[in-house]
Amino acid sequence: MKKIVSGILALTLVFGGAAALPQGVFFEESAITASAEQYGSYYGFGYTSYDDGSVMLTGYTEDADKIVTIPSVVNGTNHISLSSDLVTYFNTKSPAEGLKIGPDYEVFTSYRDFYYAKDGVVYITRDGDTRVDSSPFIVPYGMIELTLANNLTDLLNPYGMPIIANHKNLMYINMPEDIESLGYYSLFNLPNLKRVEFPKNMKITLADLNESQLGYCFVNGSSVKNTSFVISCYKGSAAEKYAKQHGFRCWIIDDDNTNDEDNGLIDLSEMDFTLNKTKYVCTGRAIKPSFTIKNGSSVLQEDLDYTVSVNPSEQVGSTSFTVKGIGSYTGEITKKIDVIPANVTGFSGSAYSTSATHLRWNRVTGAEGYIVYVYNSKAKTYKRIAVLNGENTTEFFNWSLKAGTTYKYAIKAFGIAGANKEVTSAKFPTVNVSTKPENVDFKVTAGSKKATVKWSKVTGAKGYRVYYKTSKNGKWQALTTTKNTSFTKTGLKSGQTYYFAVKAYRKVDGVTYWGGFDTKSVKVK
């Protein structure tokens, strides 16, 4: 069978296809011979021998090899070509992470075309000169880190099709400085990409980057953005503009630390940091600060881009936390925050006497004390009346008050931050509490089988209740509850002594406050 020599066998498909190398590729290497069968295998390669003495490599089966060496002499000849199926296999299926040409050579030629291997990638150029018009030709599908050679026109193969697109294993790409453009959809559908680095003096423009579709993937029939990768570039470059325009994370390479171990990592201090809250409630446990760090429009994530450590904050006052860059980021940011006490709960009050009220509340964790306020109706504001030290202080008596009068109280827990700065609860509960009404001043007049009780009005009283009993040690019985100032009890026994009492009361917020009482007796006629 006579084989027809052709310069181009096939075209690369955008997502999964490949192009064949021109037939008649010659390899310059010492011979390692095999049998002269028409079909054979050689170090994992399947091949076909032709009548003109040439050999075509048609397949490869040694998938365990991370670096595949393409032989330069097979079956006693260096007149070798690669089939389109083999090229397609390397570009779309092979788990290999790189290719080399022969054990000792990185270059081979075929007619007017010139092929060379660099960093595991096979390139093609015209006129036998690797310095001009170079294009990637085989990028092994299993490759994880791709470092592109210099002097590239673009990232398309000789037939104008993307050669890197759709490489799902590719995680890192290092761009050459003198690449002229990228090419239509040349960086599309790289779902596991972690970082792409652009040198300082590149010719790549924002339009080139937009055309390449860097950072976008094909998912369920739609183009979606991959937010897990980072663009590493210099400040002011087209790559930085592209990252900000599309919301990708961006590492700014600093000229001053080119040789530092942190080179290529972005300092957190260059990011947009927003402290969402400046005050945090003390719970006795570690504070979880709320903040946002953005790289362009991308929000950094804890444990992926940074870690957070908070100084002890079991007490009310002030503390600080430190954000430290990890992964793609370096540097630290330290912020101060106030730790305020929780709002007081269980705040209630009662009348202790005609001149005092009694307030109670629940203990607040971490508080250094409590501030009690009373409302001034004329000034229409709360006035501080007491500062009580101690977390466990949970009651307060307010003395020297007017009888039968309502007082509106409020309370806050407090602590001391730096420089004697007082920090208090964010909100405060209020309660209306009345003092007891004064005792009722009354008289009892005896009549025929009856007794009449009369009294004077008591300031602040909303009503009165009249009681009586039939003996000194007897049980009090309520006779009436009234807003009047007199009451007559009839049906009494002549000659018997009865005992009477009158109590004033007032109601505030559904609570009834009773005044004290005096006892008076009368003998019925």
442-523 maps to CATH 3.40.640.10: no
In order of 19, 89, 321, the CA distances from 9 in angstroms are: 7, 15, 63
Task: Give which of 399, 278, 428 is closest to 339, Cα–Cα.
Answer: 278
Enumerate the CATH 2.60.40.10 domain ranges in the chain, comma separated. 348-434, 442-523
Alpha carbon distance 426, 74 (integer Å): 83
Q: Which residues is 68 bridged to in the sheet?
A: 99
Alpha carbon distance 514, 439 (integer Å): 9
Question: What is the model's pLDDT at position 390?
Answer: 92
Alpha carbon distance 159, 156 (integer Å): 7
Question: What is the model's pLDDT at position 13?
Answer: 32
In order of 3, 33, 70, 365, the CA distances from 74 in angstroms are: 17, 6, 10, 82
Question: What is the model's pLDDT at position 257?
Answer: 45
Question: What is the model's pLDDT at position 2?
Answer: 30
Alpha carbon distance 506, 219 (integer Å): 74
> In the chain, what is the greatest distance between 2 CA atoms, to the nearest angstrom?
152
Question: What is the model's pLDDT at position 17?
Answer: 37
Tally Cβ neighbours within 10 Å of residue 265. 22
3-state secondary structure 125-160: EECCCCCCCEEEEECCCCCCEEECCCCECCCECCCC
Name the CATH superfamily housing domain 348-434: Immunoglobulins (2.60.40.10)
Question: What is the model's pLDDT at position 131?
Answer: 54
Question: What is the model's pLDDT at position 3?
Answer: 32
Alpha carbon distance 503, 440 (integer Å): 6
List, in sequence order, every beta strand (DSSP E) within 242-392.
249-253, 266-267, 272-275, 279-281, 291-295, 298-299, 306-310, 317-325, 329-330, 332-340, 348-353, 356-360, 369-376, 381-389
pLDDT tens, position by position, for the chain (525 residues)?
Answer: 333 222 222 223 333 333 333 333 333 333 334 444 588 888 889 999 888 888 888 999 887 788 898 887 888 877 777 888 988 999 999 999 999 887 554 555 554 567 778 899 988 876 655 555 678 889 999 999 999 988 888 999 877 889 999 999 999 999 998 888 999 999 999 999 988 999 988 889 999 999 999 999 988 888 898 877 888 888 889 999 998 888 888 877 766 544 344 445 678 888 889 999 988 898 888 888 999 998 777 788 898 889 999 987 777 888 899 999 987 788 999 998 888 999 999 999 999 999 999 999 999 988 999 999 999 999 999 999 999 999 999 999 999 999 999 999 999 999 887 667 788 999 999 999 999 999 999 999 999 999 999 999 999 999 999 999 999 999 999 999 999 999 999 999 999 999 999 999 999 999 999 999 999 999 999
The pair of structure tokens assigned to 510 is 């559904």
Pick the CATH number of 268-338 from 1.20.120, 1.10.760, 2.60.40, 3.30.200: 2.60.40
Tally Cβ neighbours within 10 Å of residue 372. 21
Alpha carbon distance 172, 144 (integer Å): 6
